C-alpha cells in the first residue's frame, strides 16, 4: 500500500525528505524568481518599479506582471533595453519577455502585495544604478550562478512533467 497519510510541515522540511521533494524545487524556483525580480527592478525606470514584478521564468521566457494597460505600454518601450541587459549579463539563454496584466497583484487585500512592495523598496534602496555600464558590472557577478541554477531547475521541471 502507498503511504498516503497527511504529513506535518516540519516532517516535509527534514533534510532527508526535503532533498528530493517537489517542495524543494518550488522553494528553489521561488528564491530564483525573487533574485531575478530584484535584478529586473534595478534595471527598470523608477516609475515602473512599484507597478511591475517577475511572475515566472520558463522555457527561456521571462514573464512580467504589471498592474494595468498603461504600465504595460510603458514597459514595452523598455523591453529591448531590458532584454539586452539581461541577455548580456545573467540570462544569455533568454529568448523573449512576455508582459501580462494582473490588476490584483498590488491590492492591499492580496497576501503577496506586501512581499513584492517591500522587495521593490529594498531593491530601490540598495541598488540605485545610474548607467548601463554599472548595471552590467553588477549583474555579471551573478551570471553563472543564476543561469546554471535556472537551467537545472528548468531541466528538473521539464523532466518531471514529461
Complete edge-to-edge strand list for the sheet that includes strand 96-101:
52-58, 61-66, 96-101
The answer for residues whose C-beta is within 8 angstroms of residue 93's C-beta and 6 or more apart is 60, 147, 151
Average pLDDT, the chain: 76
Give the highest mean pLDDT range of 19-23, 107-111, 140-144: 19-23
* 156 or 80: which leads in pLDDT: 80
- Nine cell digits for residue 158: 521539464
Closest CA to 57 of 45, 65, 49: 65
Distance (Å) of CA 125 to CA 26, 90, 122 = 28, 21, 5
Model confidence pLDDT, tens digit, residues 22-58: 777 888 899 999 999 999 999 999 999 989 999 999 9
Instruction: Give the separation between CA 139 and CA 89, rounded to whole angstroms.
Output: 6
How far is Cα 13 from Cα 116, in angstroms, rounded to an integer?
25
> 10 Å Cβ neighbour count for 104?
11
* Residue 37: closest CA among 54, 24, 49: 54
Q: For the residues of 139-150, what is the DSSP string, one character each?
A: HHTTHHHHHHHH
Q: How confident is the model at residue 80 (pLDDT cuts 50, 70, 90)?
A: very high
Q: pLDDT, tens digit, for every residue of 97-113?
A: 999 999 987 764 444 44
Q: Residue 143 pLDDT more than 70? A: no
Q: Which residue has the cell 496584466?
A: 101
Pick the more confident residue, 14 or 45. 45
Question: What is the pLDDT, as a whole number, of residue 19?
Answer: 63
Amino acid at each position: 500500500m502507498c503511504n498516503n497519510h497527511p504529513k506535518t510541515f516540519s516532517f516535509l522540511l527534514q533534510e532527508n525528505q526535503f532533498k528530493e521533494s517537489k517542495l524543494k524545487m518550488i522553494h528553489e524556483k521561488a528564491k530564483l524568481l525573487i533574485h531575478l525580480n530584484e535584478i529586473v527592478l534595478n534595471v527598470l525606470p523608477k516609475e515602473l518599479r512599484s507597478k511591475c514584478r517577475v511572475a515566472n521564468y520558463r522555457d527561456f521566457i521571462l514573464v512580467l506582471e504589471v498592474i494595468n494597460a498603461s504600465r504595460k505600454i510603458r514597459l514595452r518601450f523598455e523591453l529591448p533595453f531590458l532584454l539586452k541587459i539581461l541577455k548580456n549579463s545573467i540570462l544569455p539563454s533568454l529568448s523573449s519577455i512576455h508582459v501580462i496584466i494582473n490588476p490584483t497583484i498590488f491590492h492591499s487585500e492580496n497576501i503577496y502585495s506586501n512581499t513584492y512592495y517591500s522587495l521593490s523598496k529594498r531593491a530601490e534602496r540598495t541598488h540605485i544604478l545610474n548607467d548601463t555600464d554599472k548595471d552590467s558590472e553588477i549583474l555579471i557577478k551573478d551570471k553563472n550562478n543564476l543561469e546554471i541554477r535556472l537551467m537545472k531547475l528548468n531541466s528538473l521541471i521539464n523532466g518531471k512533467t514529461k
